Amino acid sequence: MTRRVLPRALALALALPLALGACSGDDGAGSESANGTQVESGDQDRSLGRVDASAEDRHPNGAHLRVSSVELRERSVAVDVSLVNGHTQEIRLNGRGLWLVDEQGNAYAFDEPQQNANLTVGSGEELTGTLVFLGSVADDAGSLTLKTNRHNPEDNIDTSSRGRNDTNPEFLLEGLQLP
């Protein structure tokens, strides 16, 4: 995996393969990311539906997290994200834990990638990719909340107490609708 510095005039998205699956460049299956890495789903977790989303959270340290879609799968939930680090230091999106929680209180654990498990992003860089959370979503769930840098999914995030110097920024994206 490589990271590229983003010039101020032109932001280049870096594709980060965060999906369940392996990298392969020789069988032609899967889709190709922006940096040329072949990504494929290893276990073919069947999609049950996808919905576009437009949730975002701007952190006081200059970082910006955006969710563009949510895909419900048989055994997981896939969330397409973009994280721009506007902070002067590198940050970690998964320094203390990353969770999806439904409105019933059910928590879905993040399936950490083998490379860059902490989702570290250098200053002035952007990561885009798919975050995969394990578990079948409860039948009575209607929406999800994404919480970053939380050891415990039940812990609340006080967005008013976040600091400009946070290198493990706590993001809170509520109301992510399910298909």
List the CATH number of the domain containing 75. Answer: 2.60.40.1240
- Classify burial at 102, counting beta carbons within 10 Å of its beta carbon; exposed 0-12, middle 13-18, buried 19 or more: buried
Q: What are the pLDDT digits (tens) for 115-159?
A: 999 999 999 999 999 999 999 999 999 999 999 999 999 988 988
Share of residues in the chain with pLDDT > 70 (%): 75
What pLDDT, on the 0 to 100 scale, is given for residue 53?
96
Number of domains in the chain: 1
Classify residue 170 as exposed, middle or buried by CB count within 10 Å of its CB (0-12, 13-18, 19+).
buried
The DSSP element (H or E) to which 59 belongs, if any, is none
Residue 58 falls inside a structural domain: yes
**Residue 92: what pLDDT?**
97
Averaged pLDDT score across all residues of the chain: 81
Residue 136 lies in a domain: yes
Contact 89, 168 (CB under 8 A): no
> To which residue do tokens 């209607």 refer?
142
Partners of 24 in the beta sheet?
A: none
Is residue 1 a part of any domain in this protein? no
**In a domain? residue 25:** no
User: Is residue 53 one of the residues assigned to a domain?
Assistant: yes
User: What pLDDT, on a 0 to 100 scale, did the predictor assign at position 70?
Assistant: 97
> Is the model's pLDDT at 112 over the cut of 50?
yes
Please check whether residue 23 lies inside any domain of the structure. Answer: no
Range of lowest pLDDT (27-31, 43-47, 130-134): 27-31
Assigned domain for 160 exists: no
Q: Is residue 110 part of a domain?
A: yes
Domain span at residue 131 reads: 46-155+165-177
Alpha carbons 73 and 153: distance in angstroms, whole number: 21
pLDDT given at position 168 = 96
